Amino acid sequence: GDSQFVLPLCPDTIFSTKPRQTGHIAPARTLLRLGEDTGFDMQLLPDATVPAAEDAKLSLPDGWQFEAAPAASSTGMSGRVTLASDARAGHYRIHATLADEPVYTAQELAYAHIRRQTRFSRAAADIALVDTAGLDGLTIGWIDGGVDEAHHWAGQLGAQIVQLDDSDLQSGSFDGLDVLVAGVFAGGTRPVNQSMRYIRPWIEAGGHFVSQYHRPVDNWDRATSSPLPLQPGTPSIRWRVTDASAPVQMLQPDHPLFAGPNPITDKDFGGWIKERGLYFASEWDQAYVPLLAMSDSGEKPLEGSLLAAEIGAGSHVHCALNLFYQMDHMVVGAFRLFANLLTPFNGK
């Protein structure tokens, strides 16, 4: 009757502490053009009722100013951030405090294979101030593969984005488009191969087509996934550059794609993260010009990361650089190169 036993139990929710102030800053990411944009709107959105708005503070870069909107209240704070007149291009991060306590953002994790848990990180807003030309005046048809958000950044640069559905692709409904983009892995879920019989004549008539990187398993067909024969290399581990700081050689520094609208230099390949690119092309038609060479340390240089061809009166660029990831993480040079990729360059 005096027997005792211990039964360990795993709680559904891990016991943890919580920061005094939680919330988020919106927008979380902002792209600004140096010399064009002088400021942007911002909100601090606490998760609970907070002290008076005057107790909220933003950690702004030197010379930047925040003017709160009249409607600021205990439910949060909104207003406009004005850049310093001498602000330089770069990646800036803004944090917030409430009642002298740092604000953290909560992230709930709940998956079948782990216990429910909450992670906290400093609430932040990231700003990329980029010395770049815009894409104003361009109408871009986007074949979205559901993987990247490059179309968002193209819109932020001033382009009008038209999301194409499968019926548009299968009927060749490209009227009014200046540029056509196939997003990352788009061929795996979208009828890109079937629409190439329409895309190729559209290019020849003066259209500019940009394809982002694809895996061989994304229904890639050497003859029909691209307007001219092109093949991603296999096995993929041999056709990528994992060192984000690997030296980049510009094979054709005078190519129109590097000349404008932004003059591209080695500086634009600085500060990259995670990797240079992946699923590089291993074979391509002789009409394509390889523009870059790069490699991981001790390996043979690869030239299939960025290819360009003039086809009739139009052009095709195939990009295996991981640009969308760089832009999502506010790498300034990636935006400059991205703007060039989306700008038609055929001088015919």
Amino acid at 122: R
User: Domain limits of the chain?
Assistant: 21-130, 139-341
**What is the rounded distance in angstroms from the CA atom of residue 289 to the CA atom of residue 321?**
16
Distance CA 342, CA 135 (A): 8
Three-class DSSP category at 163: strand
Q: Work out the average pLDDT over 62-90.
A: 88
pLDDT at res. 112: 85
What class, spelled out in words, does domain 21-130 have in CATH?
A: mainly beta
Q: According to DSSP H, which parts of the chain are helical?
A: 150-156, 166-171, 192-204, 256-259, 323-328, 332-341
Pick the CATH number of 139-341 from 3.40.640.10, 3.10.200.10, 3.40.50.880, 2.40.50.140: 3.40.50.880
**What's the mean pLDDT in 126-142?**
98
Distance of CA 87 to the CA centre of its chain: 23
The overall longest dimension of the chain from CA atoms, in Å, is 96
- How much of the chain exceeds pLDDT 70, in percent? 95
3-state secondary structure of 337: helix
Find the helix or strand (DSSP H, E) in which 68 lies.
strand 65-68
Element (H, E) at 90: strand 90-98
Whole-number Å distance between alpha carbons of 269 and 331: 9
Choice among 9-13, 295-299, 316-320 with the minimum mean pLDDT: 9-13
> What residue has token string 């944090």?
95
**Residue 4, class by beta-carbon neighbours within 10 Å (0-12 exposed, 13-18 middle, 19+ buried)?**
exposed
For 165-199, how does the pLDDT look when each residue is reduced to its tens digit (9 = 90+)?
A: 999 999 999 999 999 999 999 999 999 999 999 99
In CATH terms, are 21-130 and 139-341 the same topology? Answer: no
Q: What is the per-residue pLDDT for 12?
A: 67
> What is the distance between the alpha carbons of residues 261 and 297, in angstroms, rounded to a whole number?
32
Per-residue pLDDT reduced to its tens digit, 239-283 = 999 999 999 999 999 999 999 999 999 999 999 999 999 999 999
Which tokens belong to 35? 């010399």
Average pLDDT, integer, range 39-58: 81
Enumerate the β-bridge partners of residue 119.
Answer: 107
pLDDT at 52: 54
Q: What is this structure's pTM?
A: 0.92
